[in-house]
Amino acid sequence: MKADVILCPVDFSEASRHAAGYAEALAETTGAMIVGLHVHHPALAGIPAGIGRDDPVVEATTASVPVRQQIAAQFARLSPDDDRLAAVLTVGPPAEAIAEQARMLRADLIVIGTRGAGGLQHLLLGSVTEDVVRKSPVPVLAVPPHAPAEAAMPFQQVLFATDFSAASLAALEAGLHLLADRSARVTVLHVIDDAAEDDLFVARPYDVHRHSAALEQHVSESLDLLMRERFDRGRPPELRITHGGVAEQILSVASDIGADLLIMGVHGRNAFDLAIFGSTTNDVVRQAPCPVLTARPDQP
């Protein structure tokens, strides 16, 4: 990956320390600088203690120096005075502030942790990662709690989930940049959602009873075309087609192949796309056994 700046938001939780380790491992392999970012949101200042998060309540104007030191301390492999590490403190709604810092810093990648929790923790913390994935101007590597504790680079077993949309193709491009040495084994997956496709009341130019077979043939041809256009012919990916719930199948295949990186696209921000995000990308990001790289087609 050609990365100069990796932005890694930290909230002093175990989830953000987990992500910080991945940011450091990526920085070591790419030569990138890490910017550790803490966003103080006054509206949530009294909440962390109630949900088990060790987050200092800060005021940017009076406590910036000690907080910057605490930010730097989240990165165990780098000393606080290492010139490859910078600590930034800002104030505001977390997702918006993270996206704005990514733009200002011209970051190449955001690496962020997620708790994968439900209830109050997910509402306050998981939703920040979800918002960042949707709003970020650059690709996002989300590190879920089930990802290995130690980041091993380079990635060796990669799953790319595609629906042939512009979003998934943008994610593929981001993934190919991340896998610069192209040594990883790549599996390309398309999930046929039977609940959506098995609609015999839709007019089709062929016998409806052959719909499933025709669809699989179309998907197989599309995957083959994608492979020939985007991958090195000397090391072609494995192609897979599965049936079922999209998120469930992606997670199942990721577990089956022992994926250490999962790549998928994120659609837009209107109500329909957010419904797709909530039911698919959101579930995958929270439950994946490995980091999830996401991108949108409107990112540079």
Report pLDDT for 112: 95
From the DSSP assignment, how many helices (H) and strands (E) are in the chain?
11, 10
CA 237 to CA 77: how far, in whole Å?
34
Bridge pairing between strands 238-243 and 261-265:
unpaired
Report pLDDT for 59: 46
Same domain for 164 and 132: no
- Within a domain: 148: no
Report pLDDT for 106: 95
CA 175 to CA 177: how far, in whole Å?
5
Same domain for 109 and 26: yes
Cα 180 from chain centroid (whole Å) = 18
Same domain for 132 and 172: no
Same domain for 164 and 96: no
- Within a domain: 33: yes
- Within a domain: 268: yes
- Within a domain: 152: no
The structural domain count of the chain equals 2
Same domain for 250 and 120: no
Report pLDDT for 279: 66
Same domain for 162 and 126: no
Which ranges of the chain does DSSP label H, i.e. alpha helix? 14-30, 64-73, 94-105, 119-121, 127-135, 166-178, 194-197, 211-230, 246-257, 271-279, 281-287
pLDDT per residue, tens digit, the chain (300 aa), is 567 999 999 988 888 999 999 999 999 988 899 999 998 877 655 444 444 444 444 444 445 667 788 888 899 888 777 889 999 988 888 899 999 999 999 999 999 998 754 444 433 345 788 889 989 999 999 999 999 998 888 899 999 999 888 888 899 999 988 886 667 899 999 998 865 555 545 554 545 445 567 777 877 888 788 777 777 766 788 889 999 999 999 999 999 999 999 999 987 555 444 444 446 888 898 899 999 999 988 887
- Within a domain: 150: no
Report pLDDT for 137: 95
Same domain for 203 and 106: no
143, 167, 182: which is the final residue of a domain?
A: 143
Report pLDDT for 12: 87
Give the domain CATH number at 61: 3.40.50.620
Report pLDDT for 226: 77
Report pLDDT for 233: 66
CA 288 to CA 16: how far, in whole Å?
16
- Domain enclosing residue 139, as ranges: 5-143
- Within a domain: 151: no
Same domain for 135 and 11: yes
